[in-house]
Structure 1
Amino acid sequence: MSLPLPPPPPHIELAGSPREIGLEHGKQLAVQIRRQIQVYSAMFQRTSNLDWQAVRNISVAYQNTIRFLAPDIYDEMEGIAEGANLSILDIVALNARSEIALGLFSDGCTSLGWKLGGIGYGDVILAQNWDWTPRIQENLAMMSIDQPGHPKIYMIAEAGIVGKIGFNSASVGVCLNAIRAHPTDASKLPIHVALRLCLQSTSTQNAIERITSLGGVASSQHILIADRSGALAMELSPLGDAYIPPNERGYVVHTNHFIANKCGVTEPHWPGVGSHERLARINELMKQVEGEVGAGLADGDGEFRHTLRHEIFSDTFNSPASICCMENPVKPIETRSRTLFCIMMKFSSGAAPSAEVVWGNDLAGPVPEGHILQMPWV
């Protein structure tokens, strides 16, 4: 039985200096940011036996790292804190939440990057289901960020967090798959800051060079990044990185475990998430979809997105740990996940980038009016 559909997210438009952007973010989403702190406080207590003050204490090390390596983003975080009337450590903790829990919880997701027509030519599709606790759905927002010297950003982000899933006006887009592994390294950048750096980049290569020049990331994560040339799987860890190019048919898929990264992180079994099963399943489904997606269908944007949504992203094989994730009632309520939205970005030569977002996890049938969202929005 389908769950009631959540209300669509707010749209907020941010512009100016880093501090101005942060200040407006904090003012407009102050209620949602405070709810985020409540959600993650309960999660940290459940998974790590840390109260929020202990989380803030751990955040000091990440605060120092962000201030040193990415001072403009730190200025934005200070603005968020001021706008929401919170401590800067509250905002740092939200942005470093994947690292502070030492891999004891993280969002799931299944992602796909595909250059239609193969390696050499065609539109690039970057898509994923984002799976996480439904308790934060009401705290998500669609944001645009316009700041001098960088492409304009369009993303879906958690309130209080500076980087997430989306794309920019230079046709660089990112998806995220969390990897549960040890160690973490607070001298490196939290993954949500790294995502923001990607979204400030002008190409995939520019993003890689930027993150590498700053010393890499603080926790094990996968970023599926794409520009008009195609997609690339970036398996990142504090011990070293690995990259997976598209296959000969132009696509690469990923879930929540390392495939190529052999840099020595400890990646224990993650029961109940079905990462290996989802990876096998999406590869199986892609073989079917490839046969259906000819040049005509690829040109028919709405029909193509419908095909991907109905034949891949709505798939419930191995439910509840399926591509379209359902809540597992056996798990504690603080750490249950389900698909919260499905995003499909499109990058084409000679055209502006765009995305379609289906809000909620009722992906198999007709989507009610108001739950298919566009980026950019009017």
Structure 2
Amino acid sequence: MSLPLPPPPPRIELTGSPREIGLEHGKQLAVQIRRQIQVYSAMFQRTSNLDWPAVRNISVAYQNTIRSLTPDIYDEMEGIAEGANLSILDIVALNARSEIALGLFSDGCTSLGWKLKGNDHGDVILAQNWDWTPRVQENLAMMSIDQPGHPKIYMMAEAGIVGKIGFNSASVGVCLNAIRAHPTDASKLPIHVALRLCLESTSTQNAIDRINSLGGVASSQHILIADQSGPLAMELSPLGNAYIPPNNHGYVTHTNHFIANKSGVIEPHWPGVGSHERLERINELMNGLEGEVGVGDGDAEFRKTLRQRIFSDTFNSPASICCTENPVKPLETRSRTLFCIVMKFSSVAAPSAEVVWGNDLAGPVPQTHILEMPWA
């Protein structure tokens, strides 16, 4: 049975200096940012036995790192805090929530990068289902960020967070899969800051070089990045990175466990999320799909096919590619698919994305909001 369709997210357009961008972000999404703090406060208490004042105390180390390594992004965070009338540590905590929780949040997510073969335009597809607690859905926003010296960014983001899932005008895009592993290192970049650096980059190699030049990331995470040359799976950790290129069919898939990274991180078993099962399943589905679509299909038809054949799949439910809530889990940590995004990069057209908002990915249009980035 389909769930009630949530209202579509707000679309906010941010421009100017880092501080101006942050101020407008904070002002326009102040209510949503405060709700996010309430959501994560409950999750930290449930998963880590930390109240919000303790979370803010831990955030001081990340505050120092962000201010030192990425001062422009820190200025933007200060603007968000001022615009929302909150402490800078509240905003740092939201942006470092993956690191502070030490991998205890039960994110899901299944991602796909695909360079289409036999396509004269060299089209590259970057797509994922974003699985997370439904309590944050009302706090998500579609953002554009236009700042001097960088490509224009379009992303789906949580209120108060500076980097998430999306792409830029230089045809660089990112998806994210959480990895549950130890250790963390507060002297390195939180993953949401690293995502923002990717979205400010002009190529995949530019993004890799910038992250590495700043010392790497603070926690184990997977970023599926793509530019017009194709996708690349980046398995990142504070102990070292690994990179997975597309297979012989031109695609690479990922879920919530490391495949190639042997840096020595401790990655305990993550029950109930079905990461290995989802990875095996998406590869099985792609093997059946590859060769059937891509050449001659219109954008709308192609994206619909991906949703219906891949991202609406409920095998091994509730821990399926299209995730549904597991009623045996505590309410604070239940996840379900909140949206599906399909990005496209082409040599003959501007980059674009379609976002299907809601859990009924295979349903008819009236059961979903189908949103476009860029928007008119």
Give the alignment's TM-score, normalised by structure 1.
0.98
Q: For 1:3 and 1:121, locate their aligned partners in 2 and report how far apart those are by CA, in whole Å.
A: 38
What's 1:317 paired with? 315
What's 1:184 paired with? 184
CA pair 370-364 structure 1, distance change in 2 beyond 3 A: closer
For structure 2, the 5+ residue unaligned runs are: none
- Cα deviation digits, residues 271-299 of structure 1 (max 9, x gap): 000000000000000011113115122xx
2:52 maps to amino acid: W
Where in structure 2 are the equivalents of 1:218-237 lying within 5 Å? 218-237=218-237
What's 2:343 paired with? 345
2:370 maps to amino acid: I
Checking the alignment, whether the CA contact within 8 Å between 2:179 and 2:256 is kept in structure 1 is: yes
Where in structure 2 are the equivalents of 1:23-42 lying within 5 Å? 23-42=23-42
Q: Classify the secondary structure of the residue corresponding to 1:235.
A: strand
Which of residues 318, 325, 328 in structure 1 aligns to 2:326?
A: 328
Shift of 1:55: 0.1
2:115 maps to amino acid: K
- Cα deviation digits, residues 111-159 of structure 1 (max 9, x gap): 0000001799620000000000000000000000000000000000000
CA pair 348-121 structure 1, distance change in 2 beyond 3 A: closer
Q: Classify the secondary structure of the residue corresponding to 2:296.
A: helix
For structure 1, the 5+ residue unaligned runs are: none
What's 2:107 paired with? 107
What's 1:360 paired with? 358
Q: Classify the secondary structure of the residue corresponding to 2:167.
A: strand
Q: For 1:370 and 1:46, locate their aligned partners in 2 and report how far apart those are by CA, in whole Å.
A: 32
Checking the alignment, whether the CA contact within 8 Å between 1:98 and 1:106 is kept in structure 2 is: no
Q: For 1:183 and 1:121, locate their aligned partners in 2 and report how far apart those are by CA, in whole Å.
A: 42
What's 2:304 paired with? 306
Checking the alignment, whether the CA contact within 8 Å between 2:96 and 2:192 is kept in structure 1 is: yes
Shift of 1:69: 0.2
Q: For 2:335 and 2:118, locate their aligned partners in 1 and report how far apart those are by CA, in whole Å.
A: 34
Q: Classify the secondary structure of the residue corresponding to 1:257.
A: coil
Identity of aligned residues (%): 89
Q: How many residue pairs were aligned?
A: 376
CA pair 53-118 structure 1, distance change in 2 beyond 3 A: farther
Q: For 1:225 and 1:87, locate their aligned partners in 2 and report how far apart those are by CA, in whole Å.
A: 32
Q: For 2:223 and 2:129, locate their aligned partners in 1 and report how far apart those are by CA, in whole Å.
A: 14
Checking the alignment, whether the CA contact within 8 Å between 1:8 and 1:370 is kept in structure 2 is: no
Q: Classify the secondary structure of the residue corresponding to 2:291.
A: helix
1:136 maps to amino acid: V
Q: For 1:179 and 1:309, locate their aligned partners in 2 and report how far apart those are by CA, in whole Å.
A: 24
Checking the alignment, whether the CA contact within 8 Å between 1:118 and 1:248 is kept in structure 2 is: no
Q: For 2:260 and 2:368, locate their aligned partners in 1 and report how far apart those are by CA, in whole Å.
A: 40
Checking the alignment, whether the CA contact within 8 Å between 1:56 and 1:90 is kept in structure 2 is: yes
Where in structure 2 are the equivalents of 1:108-127 lying within 5 Å? 108-117=108-117, 122-127=122-127
1:271 and 2:271 aligned:
yes
What's 1:293 paired with? 293
Checking the alignment, whether the CA contact within 8 Å between 1:119 and 1:249 is kept in structure 2 is: no
What's 1:262 paired with? 262
Q: For 1:62 and 1:9, locate their aligned partners in 2 and report how far apart those are by CA, in whole Å.
A: 29
2:274 maps to amino acid: G
Q: For 2:367 and 2:109, locate their aligned partners in 1 and report how far apart those are by CA, in whole Å.
A: 25
Checking the alignment, whether the CA contact within 8 Å between 1:115 and 1:121 is kept in structure 2 is: no
Q: CA RMSD in A?
A: 1.2
Q: Classify the secondary structure of the residue corresponding to 1:14.
A: strand
CA pair 111-245 structure 1, distance change in 2 beyond 3 A: same
Q: Classify the secondary structure of the residue corresponding to 2:365.
A: coil
Shift of 1:350: 2.6
